[in-house]
Structure 1
Amino acid sequence: MRIALIGSRWFGAEMLKIVHARGYDFHVVAPDAEDRLAQTAVELGAPLSLHTGKRRVTHDHLPGEFDVVVAAYSHAFIPLDKAPISIGYHPSLLPRWRGIASVEWTVKAGDAVAGGSVYHLTDEMDAGGIAAQDWCFVLPGEDAGSLWRRELGPMGLRLLAQVIDEIAQTGTCRAEPQDERFVTLAPRIKEAESA
């Protein structure tokens, strides 16, 4: 199975280590050479493209065809025609907290329960069908950073790896529709407070 892994930072680097350890064929796309994902790809000798300074991954960044595109902490627009399946991880119980600041809004709203979702990428932000979800409690007084490190980051790695393995075994990926009645948005906190 050939995977296009598009991501950044710690999460992208850790997902790359998982994909590499499982022996999948892959191509990595990172935002710049200094990013942790790019550095890990270089260390592993992995094929790498950089979309430096752009919030858009193009066909030029993704040579060839893929069985699955995996977004692992990517905020770039990704072409959806490079693989029959395109998935990403979002640190919320979608459709709750669609947007860039989902963990922050979980804490700000005082949610007692948080979670993560592997979902199908679409042209609409965080709106695709759900492939896998899990949940966790939010500890009293916990901030977004500690919630991410304690539960939501590791949960995302586990869920993405699980779905990737299922795709490799079956060639398909579950896609339960999100219930639009329960959509909440999670814009950047500063943008929301200035509106």
Structure 2
Amino acid sequence: MTLRVYVSGQRSFGAAVADLVTGTGHTLTGAASPPYAPGPPNSIGEPPLDKLRAAAWHHDAPWTDSIRLTAGDIPADTDVIIAAHSHAFLGTRTRARARLAAVGYHPSLLPLHRGRDAIRWTIRDRDKVTGGSVYHLTAAIDAGPLAAQDYLLTPPDSTPNSLWRDHLFPLGLRLLQKVLTDADNGAIAYVPQDEACATWEPSWERPRLHRPELPELPPPGGAAVHYRPDRTALRPS
């Protein structure tokens, strides 16, 4: 059947997910993103539109500023909500608008590297293996049950940009396409994350988020230790 999908996100990945939805024969019921993207003004002095906002216009789907997104902005007949590079928290009522699933993509092998800068911490920690995870959105950030996951060997000399652009971005699209196919077939996975292996890293440059269930690491440049939820050290670096 044709799924009705709502995308909340931003930038190139959000736009690519919107294109994926329509390109696989599904319907984009709407999108939420920041209004504008970082960058210099255009020829008439206006800031550039966020790419997901532009994609919503291209696909003739309603758009909402993600800061103002509420449950009422999600059409009642939406089957799946996708968070695609989204930094806007989707509350319980908003997630409940999805008939089948509300999922997000995270560029790590969850439950490892929860947090906004997973790729930077992957590079900093010299992880030999990385990957991507599609997980069910819950009240706990990056901690919902897994719907799809795959791994890859971290290429030598990777940078955060190259690892995202060349590997984890396309992996995210493949995993989300799999989840849409699973949802279409009524067989979407729901695998709890292993909290004994969970790590949480602070944002690289932005103010820290308080995560009471997972101790935070020192800021970049300090001696870093990853922790389990019981506060025993997992791996020093």
TM-score (norm 1): 0.91
Distance 2:87 2:139 in 1: 13
CA distance in 2, matches of 1:183, 1:150: 26
Counterpart position of 1:193:
219
Report deviation, 1:174. 0.7
Distance in 2, Cα, partners of 1:169 & 1:57: 29
1:2-151 map, 5 Å: 2-26=4-28, 27-32=30-35, 34-51=49-66, 54=67, 57-78=69-90, 79-84=94-99, 85-151=101-167
Structure 1: give runs of 5+ residues left out of the alignment. none
Answer yes or no: is 1:182 the counterpart of 2:197: yes
Distance 1:135 1:12, change over 3 A: same
* Residue 3 (structure 1) shift: 1.1
User: C-alpha root-mean-square deviation of aligned residues, in Å?
Assistant: 1.7
Aligned to 1:152: 168
- Higher Cα Rg, which structure: 2
Relative contact order: is structure 1 or structure 2 higher (C-alpha 8 Å, sep ≥ 6)? 1
More helix by proportion, 1 or 2? 1
User: What secondary structure does 2:108 align onto?
Assistant: coil
Q: Is the 8 A contact 2:107 2:168 kept in 1?
A: yes
Q: So what's the TM-score if we normalise by structure 2? A: 0.76
- Say whether the 8 Å CA contact 2:4–2:80 is kept in structure 1: yes
Are the equivalent residues in 2 in contact too, given 1:57–1:77 (CA < 8 A)?
Answer: no
User: How many angstroms does 1:21 deviate by?
Assistant: 1.4
Report the Cα distance in structure 2 between the residues aligned to 1:166 and 1:93, rounded to whole angstroms. Answer: 20
Distance in structure 2 (CA, Å) of the matches to 1:130 and 1:160: 12
AA at the equivalent of 1:62: I
Counterpart amino acid of residue 31 in structure 1: P
- Give the drift of 1:145: 0.7
Question: After the TM superposition, which segments of 4 or more aligned residues of structure 1 sit over 3 Å from their partners?
Answer: none
| Equivalenced residues, count | 191
Task: Determine if contact 1:87/1:119 at 8 Å carries over to the other structure.
Answer: yes
